[in-house]
A and B are shown apart, each in its own frame.
Chain A
Amino acid sequence: MPPLPAPALALHDVSKRYGRRWALARLTYALPAGRSLLLTGHNGSGKTTLLRLVATALSPTAGRVEVLGRDAMADRESVRRDVALLSHASFLYEDLTAHQNLTVLARLLGIPSPQDAASALLTRVGLTQRSDSPVRSFSAGMRKRLAIARLLLKAPAIALLDEPFGELDPQGIRDMERIIGELKSSGVTVVLATHLIEQGLTLCEERLHLQDGRAVAA
């Protein structure tokens, strides 16, 4: 009998403190391989912290985060290769153009022809028209599109999406849903934190509801 695949991500008794506030308190959870997760909860319930811990942007105060069977602290470099985070902060350089922003990342990732890869992704997210405008001139929705292009460029095994529908118009929301669907059908594990529970439930098989940094029944 083949061994069971490692869970896509596993949290073992994870706590995270900011100053005097506990953002996550002794959270234990495992997401089975091949499933996608919807994270719900009020503002400040710990969704963003959870995503940032899995992305290794933060280290846990206590406990252990495992991503694809690897320790997120000990194997930070290799975990970072496999996960990508769409965060509230866009990670975009305001002074560079959309195309340059993607090219910079493509070079860091060692993608053979960074310029072409950047152009291809701009087409995919519908930003070809504005590819040579500086990000400073972009609307919030366009920034979100560019940020998702940045995530797609990484071709991650796990996509962590923090409020991907925020600041998008109805067309933008549909596009984002399509992109998330494409990610899932190409075998990417999606972890989605959103207030739009309806969209989330159609996209994800699993759900985790957080309240004050703890898992509770939704």
Chain B
Amino acid sequence: MNKFIKWGLLVLALGLLGAGWWLGLAWAPPDREMGDVQRIMYVHVPLQWMAMLAMFINFVAAVAYLFKASWKLDSAAEASAEIGLVLGTAGMITGAIWGRPTWGVYWSWDPRLTSEAIMLVTYTGYLVLRRFVEDPEKRATWSAVVAIIGAINLPIVWFSVRWWRSLHQVQSSPRTVDPEMVLPLRVSAFGMLFITLFFMAVRYRQALAERQAEVALPDALPGDVPMSASHNPSKVA
């Protein structure tokens, strides 16, 4: 990616995040019931949305890899899973911080929290698997399979946990959001989107460079195997 675009993205992201959070902290009205505590929403909600986006990108990259293998798709899958895991963890921590004064507890076994915890464990497993397989082709194929199976599982987890809990406690009703809260939320969400894209771009380039170093022809042999001779047999067959 062009250097200019990359750093522009970062500046834009920081600007939007700064503006969004200033609006959220200083301009938007406090929540009627929760008071100032609710302002953590402008951090928490964008984090959660972007974690979802990153996991979705991971799923798409994994499916695409199985159809047409390429190091780019594998690198995109790795980058998005890592970033998604970081965002999701940050989202969960901010959620717990929010939960403590609101519900009186850091953690509750409500469907959303439970599903998210399971999602984080799923992608931790995915990244651990990637560390434990040396062969780049096998790592890419196997982790794509694991990513797909894990992603398919998330909606099932969501429904089953909701069902499981609903037998005991009533779902909390969806919150209505004041229009004056929408603007800061929207601005921070776009800021978070751009910073996610920035990190993703950086991490993607790192991953791609790692892959290329892994599959590069060592100097010891005469370099007459073309680098472009693809890693993927189905492409060259």
B52-60, B86-94, B184-192, B225-233 - interface stretch: B225-233
CA gap between A62 and B234 in the complex, in Å = 9
Contact residues on A (Cβ < 8 Å of other chain), bracket:
20 to 34
CB within 8 Å of A: which B62-85 residues: none
Please name 5 pairs of A and B residues whose Cβ atoms are closer than 8 Å in the assembled complex, sorted by A.
A22-B225, A61-B233, A62-B225, A71-B237, A73-B234
Query: Any chain B CB within 8 A of the CB of A130?
Result: no
A13-21, A77-85, A106-114, A119-127 - interface stretch: A13-21
B136 (CB) vs chain A CBs: closest residue:
A19
Contact residues on B (Cβ < 8 Å of other chain), bracket:
20 to 34
Q: With A15-B225, A25-B224 known to touch, is A60 a contact of B217 (CB < 8 Å)?
A: no
New A-B pairs, 18, CB < 8 Å, besides A25-B222, A26-B224, A61-B233: A17-B215, A17-B231, A18-B135, A19-B134, A19-B135, A20-B214, A22-B217, A59-B233, A60-B236, A61-B230, A61-B231, A62-B226, A62-B229, A63-B236, A64-B237, A73-B234, A74-B237, A213-B221
- Pick the contact of B229: A15, A19, A21, A73 (CB < 8 A): A15
CA gap between A20 and B225 in the complex, in Å = 12
CA gap between A74 and B235 in the complex, in Å = 12
List, in ascending order, chain B residues with CB within 8 A of A59's CB. Answer: 233
Instruction: State the total of A-B contacts with C-beta under 8 angstroms.
Output: 49
List, in ascending order, chain A residues with CB within 8 A of B229's CB. Answer: 15, 61-63
CA gap between A26 and B229 in the complex, in Å = 10
Query: Any chain A CB within 8 A of the CB of B104?
Result: no
Query: Any chain B CB within 8 A of the CB of A177?
Result: no
List, in ascending order, chain B residues with CB within 8 A of A175's CB. Answer: none
CA gap between A62 and B236 in the complex, in Å = 6
Flag A1-25 by CB within 8 Å of B: 1 or 0 each. 0000000000000010111111001
